[in-house]
Each structure stands twice: as C-alpha cells, then as structure tokens.
Structure 1
C-alpha cells in the first residue's frame, strides 16, 4: 500500500463525503452478524466510517490503515474509543488465530502489489481462527474502468470545507492489470495536491488462487452487494472465503 495516500489534513475529511456509508457497509455488517463475529479486523480502515459501524456489544473491532492522516481523523470521530486503531498494513495484524472476520473495503486489496498479496493474505489467515472468514471486493478487470479515468471525463469543481476545489483523475500508466493514476486537487491559490495511486486489477482466477495458497477455501464470488451473481459484466467482484 502507499505510505500515506491521503496525507493532506484539509482533504482527508472529504473522504467520507465522497465515500459515504452505503450497500457495501450493509453487506459487511450482515456478514459480521451472520457469523456471530466477536472479533473483527478492518484492514485498510481509512477514516473508520465502516469500522465504527461494525462495533457491537461483546465485539472487539480493530482498524488497521497505513495512512497516519486517515487514522488520526478516525480517532477523532464519535465512537472511535470503541475501536483499537493500528497504523500499518497487513504485516501488523497479530497472528492470534482468534479473529472471526477480516473485512477489507474500498478496494483496499487492489492497493496491495502482486509481490505483497501472498503475505498480506497469509497475515489475514494467521489472524483468523479455523472457520474464520475474510471478505473484500475488487474491481472486475474485464470492465476496464480505468479507460474512463481521464481529465475530460472526471473534471469537476465544488465548494468544500477545504475551500473551492477543482478536481480530476488522470491515468498515467497501464501495465497489464497494474494501473497508476493521479488524483488532482487544485485549491483557489493554485496549489495542486496530487495523489498518485497504483491499483492492481486481478481476475477471479488470480484472486481465487491467491486465497487458496494462503489457506482459504469455500470461496464464493458475488457480483454486487445484494448477492447478485458474478458475471463478466459485473463492475465489482466480492469475495468471501473461509480459513481451513
């Protein structure tokens, strides 16, 4: 993952505005409740909007993220005291073997490089109890979403708590399933806060193989947050797997 992809204190509070709670959060809460999870790890928790929503009586919730800026924001939010917040990536997950559920939302797994994915999934497996669950989403590479990430297609202006912003996204590199893009945030004074992100678009077969190699089975893939079947036209691929 990028060291601190949301390192601007002025912009971090816009993250929840741009990524509000929705069907994805409902899905992750349903999974937690369905398996009776008493210990949950939210990997790539960001500002903690979902993390705090996972809190329930008798449930331990741990939020992990590599962005100190986002975690500092998360710690200031209502209900944050009910969560244990940890700065880092998957490597900091304790290998306790007693976690019931690992969730990873907001395409977090797409930020993990091909080299790091095996160890990241292994860290998740080592934290989970036998029969524990991991679930996350990834964009379907068949849909080639990055082709619409151009300045012309994404340009917009708005008034925000950080002032008036001009914003757009622009892809700078495509190498197989590896896509690099810049998110531009131009302030009134002309300052352009540019955040470079690398995403890894992986096929069902690639992700399934990686999960199996990490010790997961009973792998199911859905094409939406409401149990839609996964098809070649599915925008998202939602994975649900159980530790052997």
Structure 2
C-alpha cells in the first residue's frame, strides 16, 4: 500500500510506535557511520538514528510520508529521497541498510525483490550489512485480520479517536499461495463519523525462500533470528529476521 492519504499518514506513527524491533535495529546500527533506511516512511526511525550521531539516508516512494519526515525537527544529518532502490547508486556507500516495518513483504514478485536486494548489495560497503524482517508464515498472522481480532482505538494527533481494524480478503490459503490480501479500515469517531480504507497485499516467504534470494543477490553470510531478542528461528517464531553480509 502506498500511503498517500494525509489522514491515514497522520496516524502512522501512532499505529507504529517505537518497540522491541526499534531497539534491535538501533543496536545493530551502533557502529555504522552511514545508515540507509529503505522504506523510511515518516522518518521516525531515521531521525532517531540521526540523533544518535549516524549519517542517514531515508528513502520512501510516498511523497506524503516524506512531507512528515522533512518537517521533523532536530533530525540531524538526514538526507530524504522520494523513490525506491533505484536511488541507491546515488547515496554513497552504506555501512548498514535496513528495511523495517515488514517492508520486505510488499515485494510480491521475487524478481522485484531480488532486484532490490542486488541494488542493496552494491550500495553496502565491504563488511557492511542489510537487515530486515518478514512475518514467519508458520505464525499465520493473517488469521488475526478480522475486525473481532484486530480492532483497536487510537487517539489521532488532532485529538480525534479512530477505530482501526483489518479484514482479510477471501483467497487461497497463504501457506499455499504465499500471499495474503486485506483491507485496513479507519473509522473516525467524529460528528458525523467518517470511514476510510486502504487495501494491501503482502508476500509471505519462508526462510529458505528468503535465504535463496539473499544468496542470489550476493550475500554470503546470513544470521537469522526468530524474535527481537535474537532467539533462533523455530516453528513458534513470529518473525524471520535477517542480517546478511
């Protein structure tokens, strides 16, 4: 989903606050001079990196997301670029390239994802790394994409209360198809009530599929984790977290 509705973009940081994944990536970046945040969104994480002294390049295809990113104060040394992996040859060598927030799953086609990984490999200096996460298919996250299981209420920056929930589209089992489509609904509890929605589709790849793509892109070593505490991957893991060099 490309975020271009200002009302929904305004909710992004509320829906995606700093959490255990943030701590993982911040620790990973400790020794990195230049960090590229590919799919940086509203720039919350990129700015935190910059505040800690890193040089950061934030890249995102959404002009509306970057509008918020560029308006952040005290971001330090951040370069914002509207685009995708095609911009990587122009940003300078990176010590670390991250794709947070399950960005890896928006690449439905293996060829498109492989092209991005290859571009990342060329952009990372020797000894540098790429890091990203993808939901573990075995955790069947899509089973929670119903109003009953996913509904929550948040307070928008303008003070309005918003109910947010996901509804999965009817389709073949993602364990077989590797894909899951859903719609996120936003009910603004104002007077009169307003409702907006945004459709998404995600690719669920296995560890073996991700490892093959990383190897094809030229990454020789991959460390895998099943959660943000760096536990090994097993069938109970909710995440497939890759750190590849």
Out of 223, 229, 245, the position equivalent to 1:220 is: 223
How far has the Cα of 1:64 moved from its partner?
Answer: 0.7
Out of 187, 192, 208, the position equivalent to 1:205 is: 208
Cα distance between partner residues in 2 of 1:57 and 1:169: 35
Q: Is the 8 A contact 2:46 2:56 kept in 1?
A: yes
Residue-by-residue CA offset, 1:65-119 (whole Å, 9 max, x unaligned): 1111111111111223521011112222126672111011100111112231110
How far has the Cα of 1:131 moved from its partner?
Answer: 2.0
Q: Does 1:15 align with 2:9?
A: no
Stretches of structure 2 that go unaligned for 5 or more consecutive residues are: none
Residue-by-residue CA offset, 1:40-78 (whole Å, 9 max, x unaligned): 100111111111111267632100111111111111112
Q: Does 1:194 align with 2:197?
A: yes
Over 3 Å counting, the alpha-carbon distance change for 1:173 and 1:91 in structure 2 is farther
Question: If the length of structure 1 is used for normalisation, what is the TM-score?
Answer: 0.90
How far has the Cα of 1:180 moved from its partner?
Answer: 0.9
How far has the Cα of 1:190 moved from its partner?
Answer: 4.1
CA-based RMSD: 1.9
Aligned residues: 237
Residue-by-residue CA offset, 1:149-174 (whole Å, 9 max, x unaligned): 01222234454335232322101144
Question: If the length of structure 2 is used for normalisation, what is the TM-score?
Answer: 0.89
How far has the Cα of 1:232 moved from its partner?
Answer: 1.0
The answer for the alignment partner of 1:77 in structure 2 is 72
Question: Moved runs in structure 1, 4+ residues, more than 4 A?
Answer: none
Residue-by-residue CA offset, 1:192-219 (whole Å, 9 max, x unaligned): 2111111111000000000000000111
Q: Is the 8 A contact 1:95 1:123 kept in 2?
A: no
What does 1:48-67 correspond to in 2, within 5 Å?
48-55=43-50, 59-67=54-62
Over 3 Å counting, the alpha-carbon distance change for 1:174 and 1:217 in structure 2 is farther
Q: Is the 8 A contact 1:97 1:129 kept in 2?
A: no
The answer for the alignment partner of 1:184 in structure 2 is 185
Cα distance between partner residues in 2 of 1:236 and 1:57: 27
